[in-house]
Structure 1
């Protein structure tokens, strides 16, 4: 298992690509915001469910956009299963992440400001599998995360998600 591409490298998957910018003065200006959800899923051994994103080749916790008519909890359950094959139950809130200095530029010209609600979840069942959005799915030991290319915004969510008794984070 190798590390992902370096920051600022464009990755493509099925015609979709993105670049994440964080605290970069030359980043494009955000044109919109979309509600996104993610989850820090830990198994009984404390390992974290991780994906390697197809659109930027970085490792991340599973997540994605909320659909119309869907609750936030239902969105995260759906996204985790779609991207990993693992069914989960939401157990808590890690935090609300809305850093205007983190923008995501897509190859279609859309540039979004980060806005993500991150939950804690526990696995209920299923089998690991990839999807159109994930090229690799794995259970990672927290001590092995430094070996993975993880965007700083995702790493922050993981750090917060590993502290069980902390109040939800918000920006």
Structure 2
């Protein structure tokens, strides 16, 4: 099986031109101690919150719940909205067999969530590791700026981000 590699671009004038625009869902999950659920991706080694594409036949919220379970082993319920993140400065290039296969400009709906069950169990094809991280320690993790924007907005108690 050929493994896909991912390169995230942020405000990069040298980034390739987008070839698609797709909806995705992410979840900003905090436990009862205020820690944030993070996973380390296998396709780019960066730390992120659970995120993935919306499949036919599911709502965006259902996609966020499913992705969290698949990537981390944690069952969640959605408790609110962090925001809609559709900044054209974020591009994701997917590399297959050494060539750019797709350059996606994501439209991401990021939900707030809380754990209701499950246990940490990384999906080996998607996550090297899953951790609960104290917000004060987030600077110790290699997180892409577009994902850090979601996390930082999730840490605030305010209106959803719309941008």
TM, length-normalised to structure 2: 0.94
Root mean square deviation, CA, Å: 1.2
Higher strand share: 2
Please report how far the alpha carbon of residue 71 of structure 1 lies from its aligned counterpart in structure 2 after TM superposition: 0.8
Matched, 1:87 2:80: no
Structure 2 CA distance for aligned equivalents of residues 22 and 50 of structure 1: 20
Q: Secondary structure at the match of 1:29?
A: coil
Sort the Cα spacing of 1:157 and 1:19 in 2 relative to 1 into closer, same or farther, 3 A. Answer: same
- 1:105 corresponds in structure 2 to 93
TM, length-normalised to structure 1: 0.90
- 2:55 corresponds in structure 1 to 67
Q: Secondary structure at the match of 1:35?
A: strand
- 2:107 corresponds in structure 1 to 115
Unaligned runs of 5+ in 1: 1-12
Structure 1 CA distance for aligned equivalents of residues 112 and 148 of structure 2: 14
Query: Structure 1 residue runs of 4+, over 4 Å off?
Result: none
Unaligned runs of 5+ in 2: none
- Aligned to 1:138, which of 119, 131, 140? 131
Sort the Cα spacing of 1:36 and 1:69 in 2 relative to 1 into closer, same or farther, 3 A. Answer: same
